[in-house]
Amino acid sequence: MNPSSQPRKQQIPVIVLAGFLGSGKTTLLNHLLRNRAGNRIGVIVNDFGAIEIDAMTVSGQVGSTVSLGNGCLCCAVDASELDTFLETLTGPAARLDVIVIEASGLAEPQELVRMLLASDNPHIVYGGLVEVVDAAEFDATRERHPEIDRHLAVADLVVLNKTDRVGSEERARVRDAVAAAGALGGGAPAVIGATYGRVDPELLFDPALRPDGEEKTRQLTFEDLLLAERGEEEGGAGHAHHLHAAYDSVSFASDVPMNPRRLMEFLDSRPQGLYRIKGFVDFGMGDRTNRYVLHAVGRFLRFDPQPWKRAEPRRTQLVLIGSGIAPQTLHKELADCRENTAPGPDTAQDAAHERSMWGVLRYVQRPGDDA
For residue 36, give the nearest of 162, 204, 169, 187 by alpha carbon.
204
Find the largest Cα–Cα distance for the chain. Answer: 66
Q: Look at 58 and 100; give whichever has higher pLDDT.
A: 100
Judge whether 25 and 106 are in contact, CB under 8 Å. Answer: no
Q: What is the pLDDT of residue 52?
A: 57
pLDDT for 181-233, tens place per residue? Answer: 988 877 778 999 999 999 998 889 887 754 434 444 344 344 444 444 444 44
* 14-18, 69-73, 286-290, 363-367: range with lowest mean pLDDT: 69-73
Q: Please determine, for residue 367, whether its predicted confidence score (pLDDT) is greater than 70.
A: no
Rounded Cα gap, residues 359 and 65, in angstroms: 42
pLDDT for 38-72, tens place per residue? Answer: 888 888 887 655 555 544 444 454 455 666 655 67
Mean pLDDT of 162-184: 94
**Can you give the pTM of this predicted structure?**
0.80
| Strand order across the beta sheet in which 248-254 lies | 248-254, 316-322, 274-281, 290-297, 300-307
* 103-117, 238-252, 319-333: range with lowest mean pLDDT: 238-252
Mean pLDDT of 285-290: 92
Q: What is the pLDDT of residue 253?
A: 96
Judge whether 105 and 141 are in contact, CB under 8 Å. Answer: no
pLDDT confidence bin for 247, thresholds 50/70/90: confident
Task: Count CB atoms within 10 A of the CB of residue 116.
Answer: 24
* Distance from the Cα of residue 56 to its chain's centroid: 25
Q: What is the pLDDT of residue 115?
A: 87
Question: Sign of the C-alpha dihedral, residues 151, 191, 205, 296?
Answer: negative
Mean pLDDT for all residues in the chain: 81
Mean pLDDT of 102-128: 86
Rounded Cα gap, residues 194 and 200, in angstroms: 10
pLDDT for 314-363, tens place per residue? Answer: 999 999 999 888 999 999 999 999 998 766 666 666 678 888 999 999 99
Measure CA of the first residue to CA of the last residue in the chain; give whole Å: 22
